Amino acid sequence: MTNLANEHMDARPSTNRLDFNTPALRRQRRIRTLKDRFARWYITIGGMAVLAAITLIFFYLGQVVMPMFQGAKIASHESIKPAWLAAAGEPLLLSVEEQNQVAMRLGKDGQIQFFDVTSGESIARMALPLPEGTQVVSFGEDTPGSHRLVLGLSNGQALVVQHDYKVTYPDNRRAITPQLSYPFGQVPISLDTQGRPLEQIGFSVNGSSLVLAAATGTQLHALSLSSTENLLTGETSIDEERLELPQLAEPIESILVDPRQQWLYAFHGNTHVNVIDLNRKQLNGRYTLTSAGAVTTASPLLGGISLMVGDSAGTIGQWFMVRDANGKPELKLIRSFNLAGKPIVQIIPEQRRKGFLALDSAGNLGIFHSTAHRTLLVEPITDAENTALGTLSPRADLLLVENGGQFRRIDIHNPHPEISWSALWGKVWYESYDQPRYVWQSTAANTDFEPKLSLAPLAFGTLKAAFYAMLLAAPLAICAAIYTAYFMAPTMRRKVKPVIELMEALPTVILGFFAGLFLAPYVESNLPGIFSLLLLTPLGILCAAWLWSRAPESLRLRVPDGWESALLMPVVLLVGFFSLSMSGYLENWFFGGDMRLWLTNDMGIPFDQRNALVVGLAMGFAVIPNIYSIAEDAIFSVPRSLTLGSLALGATPWQSLSRVVILTASPGIFSALMIGMGRAVGETMIVLMATGNTPIMDMNIFEGLRTLAANVAVEMPESEVGSSHYRVLFLAALVLLTFTFVMNTLAELIRQRLRGKYASL
Amino acid sequence: MSAKQKDLKTWFRSGAPWIWMNAGAVTIAVLMTLGLLSLIAVRGLGHFWPADVIEAEYRVPGQESRLIAGEVVEAEQVPRARLAASGLPVEAVGGEFMTRELLKVGNREIYGADFTWLIGEWLSNQQKPDGLVVLERREWGNFYGYPLALKENGQVVAEGAAIMPELLKRIERTNELIERLAILERGDIGHINHGLERLRLERRSLELKGRLDAAVEADLQARRAEWDIRYQALESQLTELHRELSRDSMTMRTTDGREQEIQVAKIVRAFQPNAMSLPAKLGHYFVKLWEFVSDEPREANTEGGVFPAIFGTVLMTLIMAVIVTPFGVVAAVYLREYAKQGWLTRVIRIAVNNLAGVPAIVYGVFGLGFFVYVLGGSIDRLFFPEALPAPTFGTPGLMWASVTLAILTLPVVIVATEEGLARIPRMIREGSLALGATKSETLWRVVIPMASPAMMTGLILAVARAAGEVAPLMLVGVVKLAPSLPLNGNYPYLHLDQKIMHLGFHIYDVGFQSPNVEAARPLVYATALLLVLVIALLNLSAVYIRNHLREKYKALDH
């Protein structure tokens, strides 16, 4: 770059030379330089900014995805020692309400204390209406988040209590008033007719029916209560039924009732659980829960289907009832988690997700997620001397621990526990499934639904669609490329290439709509025709070629070389017309009039109208031009000298093509296939419209599929910003981006090398 | 071995069959493209033709025969066994195949559905009565039947043969009234609503800034009252128009003898296809075709035109082009002219090239996450706090659709421009520099003008790609039905925050999300044809410019 302004100009005075150094010209030169500099900076900065903006895509997608794979974080607050706590006795239960403002503490003395979570100040103290002279012997909780608990009393009675929090806004400020209510009456319910203390108790409320079970020694007592409201009078009446359950031989150490009121779990002997079928009132089986050590605590997970069992070795096992091969339900260990090798003292399930917290005797806290099989955090929070009692807030963002006469608040930041790499790509054993499966099911109508976010079926669907598309497109496109580049007459080539390139420009939404609205029903009603078309077209072409080679010379010479394609036009049209019009007859002769029915009934192959065959045809159509134009380019640019040499040595055109040209161009053809594959994988509209979008894993060509791209298009607009679902969809996009980017880059590198090779020849 | 077999063997060994197979592949590819295009063209264009309406007796075996009337939309040969399997009372004896016809019978409020499948063999006494009238309505689809009486305010004004000419006159009148109504509702009242909304936002904005005192409040009140007065003036006009509209009605009789009262205001046009001559049909055809490209959609997009979708597509593409051109060109100029050529530029070049192959939906996800939620959310908090929590730019809309597509097509423009720059011979640049021009002057006066056709090609290709892309738009800004055009008479005239309609999305939505797919199908074909035409035109012009460019610089290469 010449810098004009600073350059010393020849300023010798001369009458017949122009003076280039007048002040005006100097100023102009300065301005020009300035302009030049400005342009340089402007373009450099602008250009780099644009290029950076493009790479932003990667970083942004990555940044959205990252938080999913980070563990949980906790932050401890100062301990508080409210005055009332000293005289409160031993705690049975702690609970925090939705807003993290008010907490509840149930003492062994039957007193319920509500207090401010932050300051520890007492808000209200209520005594439970226990009969005179009775003590609380045991207590049980209903499903996480129900705010219901039951107390087993020393006189063989039980009391069901519910604690609620009324939120009001006097003067635009939130005020929370705690309340106690007794959904099954203030009068305790008698369980043991002999009035012995209920040593263990468990219960479950489902709608208006209550199942209550308690143990006195080895004896099991169970009641089923249902309250019905009289529609006319509005009175509620309570029906009580005593359940006659099989008696067990060993003393019972703990009782749990599942929320669907089908199973009763009675723990005993430190290692075993007896499962009783409440509907049939018989024993389902006796299962060993732990091989090493003893069971120390057990708790149901959200929804109550899973049982989390902690043992003295610091292991937590997830168990639920699964149907075995004979259809008999049995309790099975699904997965297990490890805390720190010390006995587990408490398992606290989350109230909104299938996650849970565990505390062990050494004061370690573990945060886990059951379905994702993830250990998000293991950290000591209290000293080992006193056993801690904890509770988790409904939003799972606050843990309140009582330990040695003081409370401690611990903030938990754990936004995406349900996602793990293994859950995204591997088989996951979900609750109520009889085996581990790959499932994508992001939403459902009911509220306690657990989203099942396995990307495996979507990735499978993507590859399946791409595979069938390539099955059609690869041979067609490469053969067409070979012919166009090597054999076709130049005049025809000039006409054919734009037509195929026009295919590339066709919006995919048009192909998709064509596939979904025209092709799918057409294929369904003309299945035999489509298959005979695929079969007969090559045969027809061969026959036509053979006949042409037999045709009289005078006729053959009239058509110059390189016009075979044009000759084949009527042949292909004829074969196509023939096979499609034969479709109905074939169906009548071979498939009893309806091939679709024949497939489903006789062959057992499920058939969807919008299936992989339709996608293969439509997307194959979309991919052909991509592969074609690159492959054609690669073959066409093979140096002429190579072919001429081969021909001169006596090879036929076909021989020199297959032995010389294709071999030389094969990397180019390969890269064309990769680019076609990349396109097929990322295509959205065609698969969205031409498949049923069912996320299944089945290679069956007659069934639908759901691809990553279509899934993003369908679910993204409804996804809540920042939720796990949203981030998983971003991950799907990132996977697509990475996949196609890698494919394209490889293809591009291969092509560049090939170009270098040609240049040297 | 016979001579013939030997022949065959040598023929195979010569490789000729394989050459023919390759030729066949080309044939198939070309036929597939042409077939698809012609299928879309035939189906799309055929829709507007006023087909004859048949009237016939239909007798399902074992049932009473009944009279039906309608247009035959489709007919196909179906194996008898399949019909029997689907539960139809098909006679056991007869030919292997039966004809199944799809008849558009209209009269949705009476029959429940516009279309029925019939068995051709069960139809008898087919005829095409001249008197049969087709009413195209604003709601409930077409009506097929015979006019009995035309009424004005409940009084019969025409009967028998006099009905049709009178009806046509009155339809013309109601159409005019409806146009006036639309201008009133959309234009004037829309303007008032817009003004009121702006007043509300102004008040909220002042409130947020804490400057809402009594004087301001009174001023706002006065301005609101002004709008209210204007609205009241319009309201009386509105009721008057509605009253005028409901003046005429007519009684129709269906073929099977049921009578139906129809408001003339609900009729778009009435015609008797069986009595129409060829020129009349042609005239009707072009009127319908014009309606399709110039009118607004009716009946959940299954009838009427696609003008808002055309407008949305064009406007969005234009904005995208305005954004993508400078950025793409600057990036390409930097990469080719200023950046130091080395491995880094090679990597960047490959990366940019490959970004063109990244699935469009990925750009959509990026656009939704980054542009809409991050950028749009920040813009809302900074500049439009008064509208919150209702988002202004923090929701999908025209602007984000354009920006997303600009990012999507940026690689296309960069690659094309770079190619154009690379094609310019070195000696031209050197010549310019030798004459004393600075680098920027060389670039501005010599290089860029010479490369401008390449940039144009790139831009056209980008526009063609953007016009056909639907997947990202589904996330960043299209809707099935936009209440108003994004460019209108209300300040600030160009509403970048509004959602738009789009031809491609229209195809997807009408074809797949519509409750009445059968009725919508022909319109989808027509829309698809329109989209193909636009894109083919853009592409062909790009090809033309490219070839032209090659010719122009051929001399310079040697």
Q: Name the residue facing B531 among A476, A507, A654 (closest C-beta).
A: A507
> If you average pLDDT over residues A710-718, what whole number do you get?
90
- How many Å apart are CA A279 and CA A262, to the nearest integer? 6
Smallest Cα distance from A475 to chain B, Å: 8
Whether residue A178 contacts residue A164, with contact meaning beta carbons closer than 8 Å, is answered with: yes
> If you average pLDDT over residues A272-280, what whole number do you get?
86
Task: Please report, to the nearest 10 degrees, the dihedral formed by the alpha carbons of residues A90, A91, A92, A96 taken in order.
Answer: 180
Least confident of A371-380, A386-395, B140-149: A386-395
Question: What pLDDT score does B433 carry?
Answer: 92
Q: Cβ contacts (< 8 Å) between B470 and chain A: which residues? A: 507-509, 684-685
pLDDT per residue as tens digits for the range B45-89: 888 888 889 998 888 888 888 888 888 888 888 888 778 877 788
Is residue A359 classed as helix, strand or coil in its secondary structure? strand
Residue A331 has pLDDT above 50, yes or no: yes
> If you average pLDDT over residues B486-494, what whole number do you get?
80
Cβ neighbours of residue B161 closer than 8 Å, sequence gap 6 or more: none
Percent of chain A that is helix, strand, coil (3-state, to 5): 40, 25, 35
Q: Cβ contacts (< 8 Å) between B28 and chain A: which residues? A: 476, 480, 537, 572
Q: Cβ contacts (< 8 Å) between B328 and chain A: which residues? A: 50
> Which H or E element spans position A604?
none
In this structure, the answer to whether residues B393 and B451 fall within a common structural domain is yes
Smallest Cα distance from B541 to chain A, Å: 12
- How many Å apart are CA B517 and CA B100, to the nearest integer? 19
List of long-range contacts for B225-230, beta carbons under 8 Å, 24+ apart: B227/B192, B227/B195, B227/B196, B227/B199, B230/B192
| Identity of the amino acid at A622 | A
Residue B20 has pLDDT above 50, yes or no: yes
Smallest Cα distance from A380 to chain B, Å: 38
> For residue A53, what are the CA distances in angstroms to A60, B407, B441?
10, 9, 28
- How many Å apart are CA B34 and CA A30, to the nearest integer? 61
Confidence category of residue B186, pLDDT binned at 50, 70, 90: confident
In this structure, the answer to whether residues B411 and B546 fall within a common structural domain is yes
Whether residue A631 contacts residue A478, with contact meaning beta carbons closer than 8 Å, is answered with: yes
Tokens linked to B121: 């063999």
Is residue A450 classed as helix, strand or coil in its secondary structure? coil
Cβ neighbours of residue B42 closer than 8 Å, sequence gap 6 or more: none
Instruction: Give strand pairing partners of A307.
Output: A300, A319
- How many Å apart are CA A670 and CA B91, to the nearest integer? 57
Smallest Cα distance from B469 to chain A, Å: 7
Q: Name the residue facing A549 among B11, B39, B373 (closest C-beta).
A: B11
Confidence category of residue A384, pLDDT binned at 50, 70, 90: low
> Which H or E element spans position A236?
strand A236-243
Q: Mean of the per-residue pLDDT values for chain A?
A: 86
Residue A353 has pLDDT above 50, yes or no: yes
Tokens linked to A367: 């945060």
Q: Cβ contacts (< 8 Å) between A55 and chain B: which residues? A: 351
Contact B85 A597 (CB under 8 A): yes
Question: What pLDDT score does B300 carry?
Answer: 76
Q: Mean of the per-residue pLDDT values for chain B?
A: 87
In this structure, the answer to whether residues B383 and B530 fall within a common structural domain is yes
> If you average pLDDT over residues B117-143, what whole number do you get?
87
Whether residue B171 contacts residue B144, with contact meaning beta carbons closer than 8 Å, is answered with: no
Structural domain of B19: 3-46
Contact B334 A514 (CB under 8 A): no
**A456-723+736-760 classified as CATH 1.10.3720.10:** yes
For residue A720, what is the DSSP state?
Answer: P
Surface of A (43-62) touching B: CB under 8 A: 43-44, 46-48, 50-51, 53-57, 60-61
pLDDT per residue as tens digits for the range A169-200: 888 888 888 888 888 878 888 888 888 888 88
> If you average pLDDT over residues A27-50, what whole number do you get?
90
Surface of A (362-401) touching B: CB under 8 A: none
Cβ neighbours of residue A312 closer than 8 Å, sequence gap 6 or more: A292, A293, A294, A295, A296, A343, A344
Confirm whether B189 is domain-assigned: yes
Is residue A761 classed as helix, strand or coil in its secondary structure? coil
Question: What are phi and psi for residue A60, nearest 5 degrees?
Answer: -65, -45
Q: Name the residue facing A737 among B358, B369, B444 (closest C-beta).
A: B358
Contact A597 B436 (CB under 8 A): no
- How many Å apart are CA B310 and CA B62, to the nearest integer? 51
Question: What pLDDT score does A354 carry?
Answer: 87
Cβ neighbours of residue B474 closer than 8 Å, sequence gap 6 or more: A713, A717, B364, B505, B508
Residue B404 has pLDDT above 90, yes or no: yes
pLDDT per residue as tens digits for the range B218-264: 888 888 888 888 888 888 888 988 888 888 888 888 888 888 888 88
Q: State the ipTM, two decimals.
A: 0.89
- Residue ranges per domain, chain A? 23-66, 130-288, 456-723+736-760
Question: What are phi and psi for residue A699, nearest 5 degrees?
Answer: -75, -10
Residue B558 has pLDDT above 50, yes or no: no
Confirm whether B162 is domain-assigned: yes
Confirm whether B296 is domain-assigned: no
Question: What pLDDT score does A5 carry?
Answer: 47
Question: What pLDDT score does A447 carry?
Answer: 61
| Identity of the amino acid at B167 | L
In this structure, the answer to whether residues B41 and B59 fall within a common structural domain is no
Confirm whether B534 is domain-assigned: yes
In this structure, the answer to whether residues B261 and B408 fall within a common structural domain is no
Q: Dump the DSSP string for A135-154.
A: -EEEEEE-STTS-EEEEEET
In this structure, the answer to whether residues B347 and B472 fall within a common structural domain is yes
* Bridge pairing between strands B97-104 and B155-159: unpaired
Q: Cβ contacts (< 8 Å) between B468 and chain A: which residues? A: 505-510
Query: What is the b/e burial string over A481-502, where b = at least 16 CB atoms within 10 angstroms of the residue's CB?
Result: bbbbbbbbbeebbeebbebbeb
In this structure, the answer to whether residues B355 and B429 fall within a common structural domain is yes
pLDDT per residue as tens digits for the range A240-268: 888 888 887 788 888 888 888 888 888 88
In this structure, the answer to whether residues B261 and B320 fall within a common structural domain is no
Confirm whether B132 is domain-assigned: no
Return the residue in B358, B439, B444, B503 with the most chain A beta carbons within 10 A, the one to mutate for interface testing. Answer: B358
> If you average pLDDT over residues A137-164, what whole number do you get?
86
Question: What pLDDT score does B555 carry?
Answer: 60
Smallest Cα distance from B365 to chain A, Å: 7
Rounded to 5 degrees, what angle do the CA atoms B55, B57, B58 make? 115
Percent of chain B that is helix, strand, coil (3-state, to 5): 65, 15, 20
> Which H or E element spans position A507?
none
Q: Cβ contacts (< 8 Å) between B505 and chain A: which residues? A: 509
pLDDT per residue as tens digits for the range A108-126: 888 888 988 888 888 888 8
Question: What pLDDT score does A15 carry?
Answer: 58
Return the residue in A28, A32, A48, A506 with the most chain B beta carbons within 10 A, the one to mutate for interface testing. Answer: A506
Confidence (pTM):
0.89
> If you average pLDDT over residues A372-396, what whole number do you get?
84
Whether residue A318 contacts residue A373, with contact meaning beta carbons closer than 8 Å, is answered with: no
Question: What pLDDT score does A2 carry?
Answer: 47
Residue that has been written with the tokens 């600009």 in this structure: B406
Instruction: List, in sequence order, the alpha helices (H) in A80-129.
Output: none
pLDDT per residue as tens digits for the range A503-523: 888 889 999 999 998 999 898
Confirm whether B318 is domain-assigned: yes
Q: Cβ contacts (< 8 Å) between B11 and chain A: which residues? A: 546, 549
Contact A64 B78 (CB under 8 A): no
In this structure, the answer to whether residues B254 and B311 fall within a common structural domain is no
The structural domain count of chain B equals 4
Q: Which residue of A has its CA nearest to B332?
A: A47
Q: Cβ contacts (< 8 Å) between A508 and chain B: which residues? A: 468, 470-471
pLDDT per residue as tens digits for the range B462-473: 888 888 889 999
Query: Residue A136's Cα: distance from chain center in Å?
Result: 46
Q: Name the residue facing A565 among B8, B26, B511 (closest C-beta).
A: B26
Tokens linked to B553: 């610089």
Domain boundary among B77, B98, B127: B127
Question: What pLDDT score does B551 carry?
Answer: 73
R_g of chain B computed on alpha carbons = 31
Contact A54 B328 (CB under 8 A): no
Question: What pLDDT score does B227 carry?
Answer: 87
